[in-house]
Structure 1
Amino acid sequence: MSMKKIYLFVLLALGAMSLSACSGSRASIVNSWSGLSADGELAYLAAGSHVYAVDVTNGNEVWRYPAEADSGILFYATPVLTTDGQLLIGSEGTNHEFISLDPATGKENWAKPFTGAKSKWVASPLVFNDTIYAPNSDGFLYILDLSGNKVSDPIELGGTLWSSPVTDGTNLYLTSLDHSLYVIDMATGKVGEPVDLGGAAPSAPVLGEGGVYVGSFSSKVEFIKSTGEREVLSTAANWIWGTPTLDTNTLYYADLSGNLYSMDLATSKQNWDSVQPDGPVVASPQVMEDQIYVVTESGSLLALDRDAKVVWEKTVGGNIYTAPAFSGNVVLVAPYKADFALAAYDIDGKQAWTFTPEK
């Protein structure tokens, strides 16, 4: 699938989910990509009409939210766990709810969801110092306390916000589909002059020393300081969709031509010639111990060592647009248009189980 077709797929998927919500029909888990996160016991899968909690030891469903499908609620953002025991996620549905769940039971924590946004929740929130920073597709950054109450007026940024913020403790860094990186002073809420990335940035930057590393549809990887100073580190062969992954002094990133890159940040040189799996790479590469895990639009999961040698490769099926998640030594993968919604592999590539929600 070409980069333009992938982008069109995402836009059409958003529309399809919204239309299914308006019609009152049950949204299928194959309508779009899924959001995926995990802790030591459960995987949390945001897949259409429900958020599912799945036991990582056996693939059994522990709970789903809501218990019955609601035409106004749809999910595909990555659920976020907080240190005080909440699971936060926003809905793509027509009611625009931002919800807090108990990770153990799936019950709502707040007296009522936050409903102050005007559009879809695609991005996951950032939680820092007991404050929730939640970007919405309406172009505003909403600031809430851990009970879901507004801390201050939302910050208008413009453009469509699909990515999560990152912070260095002083500034927030947030990308937008309007080609911009925004730097926001956390103490004052003041927004600096937007940095023009030259292309849409649907995924978050990654924090580095003194700034952030950003990939975008300009095909460039840049390092941008809080002052707006910037350095282009590399130009990929195609659009960069996923967030780069920083592992000590190595930056891993991939493009929609299916190239996987590894850059030594000390020298700004590539550690290897670009590696090409079997299809475009939308999701961020993930690192666990000495292996890099990559998923492709063609439905494959690969584990590579740090010299780019393929340790193992598995055909998961469907298309994979969601980054793998980890629970202990379990690798979790959520495919689109597959025979199941979630699969678990051990670090040797053996499939442990698959999960398909019951109707």
Structure 2
Amino acid sequence: MGDKNIRVLLVSDMSKVGGTEIATYITAKVLKPCAKEVYVLGSKGPLSESIEKLGIENFDGISHTKNPIKIFKFIFKLIHLINKYEIDVIHAQMARPVPMAWLAKKISKRKRLKIFWTSRGLHHSTYKYVVPIFNKMNVRGLGNCKLEQQKLIRYGFEPLKTSYVYNAYRLNPITAPRPKLSKENITIGTLSALRQDRCVDLFLDIAKYISESSQFPHNIEFIIGGDGAYKKELESLAKKYNIEKKVKFLGNIVDVEEFMHNIDIFVSPIVVDGDSGAGISNAIVEAMLTKTPVCAYDASAIGEIVINNHTGYLVEPRNVEAMVNAIFQTIENKIQTQDYVENAFNLVIKECDPQNYAKKLILLYREL
């Protein structure tokens, strides 16, 4: 299945719990049985203990900085690790460490080392600058979905230097599913970094609409998982809407399975403009794996797995009324909803299987 001659260094931020950090943890976990060695380089953070419990060393290093001294320290750390552990592949989980990895490779003894970068979505204006440079650096670009690979090619990556790999799920598909919409109270949730670009304010717009509607029962509550700089603004907005007693902010979520078990419907409120966007959300994949019904705005590559009227509801961006109607249909048409969650579960099992993910990565490390 794997290649026991390959030593892989995964490079990420790791100072917080977000989609990139979770994807890094999953990648480390699934590669561990397949490669000779797997290491992680990134700031010590909430997931570091979980990584080390896998028997994987998490080296401390700050790449997400503009401080020149810290940048040079990170480059020297990379050079040291490359030489000491005879690294064959550096797999950057975000764009920022890529130039540092390229420079470290040039200075190190491992000239045949390959650099991979998984693109999980950049600001649309950044692609035209970053992609041509990475292509000239002979970096291999991996999209986290088909759409992301297409963007890499469109902005200048040579097609033979790119591929795509859906993020693998980390939950157990046997134990993860739970019954939904079976309790007296209904819980609608979302899980996201609380940044302005994640559009969690739209989730509050949806909560306000539902709370004021006579169409819905009064036993509906809303929960928001995740943390970030925009949290205070969102809490203020909930108060302004007079729904602060119906909305709970849970902060950072480490146990995603427990979070999904506590909700009946998962809503993805993110909306993107142009080529911005993070591909396919880990949270949507994990919702589908727990057989939680999904209602999402049509953003980025979400439509690759949220197939309207088949695996969930895919709604016109920013159309709060349409999203509310999708949620209403999810609650009212339970037989249809069950069909959708089964279809979604089967799709995720097929496209995001961890073993297939690891096999594809090892193959790409060898041949791309």
Normalised by the length of structure 1, the TM-score is 0.28
Which structure shows the higher helix fraction?
2
Normalised by the length of structure 2, the TM-score is 0.27
Larger Rg: 2
Which structure shows the higher strand fraction?
1
- Answer 1 or 2: higher relative contact order, Cα 8 Å, separation at least 6: 2
